[in-house]
């Protein structure tokens, strides 16, 4: 056999196709998707809450609203409403100007401060970007207020040395930015990425299982009814989810130093994850057979951006944002952020994940009912007898 003849074989042509196809999919999906960083930072929503009884707070609010690089700046929320929206990751940052800000600044009654609150239990790009924004705002405000305080001090040049030193300290500390982090994520990239890794670990396994279990469904069609086979497939997926979920939860707890209650939460969600991801990825396999695995690869790659672990939904381009609404990975990742690090309820995301799984299973039932013709069991058994 010549090499050219070998290249024409099914295995060789398939490997050539998959090598090119995977490269095109990965680069064609990842590179455009990640151009949203930092390009779409302006799509994030923040809130400026001005409770200052004086005029300086109003001036700062107007200045920040006009200068900050965000298109969605909310100024009509109370501090309680803004903090709740921040907890739910509907806001990326809350800037709170307290009631006594003007009076503290004018009376030199200690440093005046503005509270900057961010939520770490969300997309990594958002929290890192907000930290940079806060640092820039604080630097500008500190310089501005130090200059204003200095101008007031220099109106009297004949001051004793001790008083001059005291005034110099007041100038330096006339303003202090108070950075508050809620839902602090422990140090280490393995903690930031844990929601995504937990989800992907079972998604990939479920995607492979979709090909294998649907193959088993097709291979055993003559041995029982397709309804019973479909139930067997679903039960097997749940069983694998229980086992894979147990192992993955144990590894996560061991490496990330989580406690026992979190182990139960992770295990339960991993079982749900596996069942949903199996039915989601099985749709194209039930529809077109093993070739469905080819389509499942770009679907997976799109979800690695659309899951919200790195980029928030507000920053995503339209195709990825649309995908996030039907993506098992998005709902799973957000539920993990809420359960593991957040203080908001994970229920909306778990409900969304369940709905995606139920819709996917119903689609699989329709595909099996319409496209997979029933096999005569009597004829199949006779054929097996003859062959035997």
Collapsed DSSP state (helix, strand, coil) of residue 39: helix
pLDDT for 387: 47
Kindly report the average pLDDT of the chain as a whole number.
86
Specify the pTM: 0.85
Report the pLDDT averaged over residues 322-340: 96
CB atoms within 10 A of CB 86: 23
Calculate ∠ Cα 34-36-42, nearest 5°: 155
- 81: buried, middle or exposed (CB in 10 Å: 19+, 13-18, 0-12)? middle
Report the pLDDT averaged over residues 356-382: 81
Task: Work out the pLDDT band at 351, boundaries 50, 70, 90.
Answer: very high
Residue among 260, 235, 246, 159 at smallest CA distance from 198: 246
Instruction: Give the CB-side neighbour count of residue 67, counting CA atoms within 13 A.
Output: 11
Report the pLDDT averaged over residues 64-90: 91
Residue-wise pLDDT for 126-177, tens only, equals 988 898 888 888 887 777 665 555 444 444 445 455 544 554 455 455 667 7
Residue among 199, 171, 155 at smallest CA distance from 108: 171
Question: Could you tell me the two tokens for 33?
Answer: 């998707």
Name 28's Cβ contacts closer than 8 Å, sequence gap at least 6: none
Place of tokens 């200059």: 147
Report the pLDDT averaged over residues 221-245: 93
| Whether pLDDT at 107 is above 80 | no
């Amino acid at each position: 056999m010549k090499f050219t003849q070998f290249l024409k074989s099914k295995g060789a042509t398939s490997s050539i196709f998959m090598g090119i196809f995977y490269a095109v999919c990965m680069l064609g999906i990842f590179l455009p998707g990640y151009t949203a960083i930092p390009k779409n930072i302006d799509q994030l929503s923040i809130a400026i809450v001005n409770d200052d009884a004086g005029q300086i707070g109003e001036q700062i609010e107007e200045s920040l609203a006009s200068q900050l690089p965000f298109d969605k700046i909310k100024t009509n929320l109370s501090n309680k409403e803004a903090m709740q929206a921040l907890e739910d990751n509907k806001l990326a940052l809350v800037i709170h100007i307290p009631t006594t800000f003007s009076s503290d600044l004018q009376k030199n009654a200690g440093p005046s401060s503005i509270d900057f609150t961010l939520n770490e239990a969300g997309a990594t790009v958002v929290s890192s970007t907000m930290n940079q924004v806060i640092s820039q705002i604080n630097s500008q405000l500190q310089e501005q207020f130090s200059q204003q305080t200095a101008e007031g001090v220099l109106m009297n040049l004949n001051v004793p040395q001790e008083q001059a030193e005291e005034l110099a300290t007041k100038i330096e500390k006339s303003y202090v930015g108070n950075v508050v982090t809620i839902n602090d994520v422990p140090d280490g990239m393995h903690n930031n990425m844990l929601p995504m890794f937990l989800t992907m670990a079972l998604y990939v396994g479920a995607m492979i299982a979709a090909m294998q279990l649907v193959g088993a469904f097709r291979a055993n069609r003559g041995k029982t009814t397709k309804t019973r086979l479909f139930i067997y497939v679903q039960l097997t997926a749940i069983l694998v989810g229980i086992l894979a979920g147990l192992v993955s939860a144990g590894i996560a707890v061991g490496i990330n130093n989580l406690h026992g209650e979190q182990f139960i939460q992770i295990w339960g969600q991993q079982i749900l994850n596996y069942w949903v991801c199996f039915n989601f990825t099985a749709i194209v396999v039930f529809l077109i057979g093993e070739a469905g695995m080819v389509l499942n690869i770009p679907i997976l790659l799109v979800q690695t951006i659309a899951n919200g672990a790195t980029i928030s939904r507000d920053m995503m381009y339209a195709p990825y944002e649309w995908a996030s609404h039907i993506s098992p990975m998005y709902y799973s990742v957000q539920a993990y952020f809420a359960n593991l690090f957040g203080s908001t309820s994970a229920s909306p995301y778990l409900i969304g994940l369940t709905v995606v799984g139920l819709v996917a299973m119903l689609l699989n039932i329709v595909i099996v009912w319409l496209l997979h013709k029933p096999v005569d069991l009597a004829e199949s058994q006779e054929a097996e007898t003859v062959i035997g």
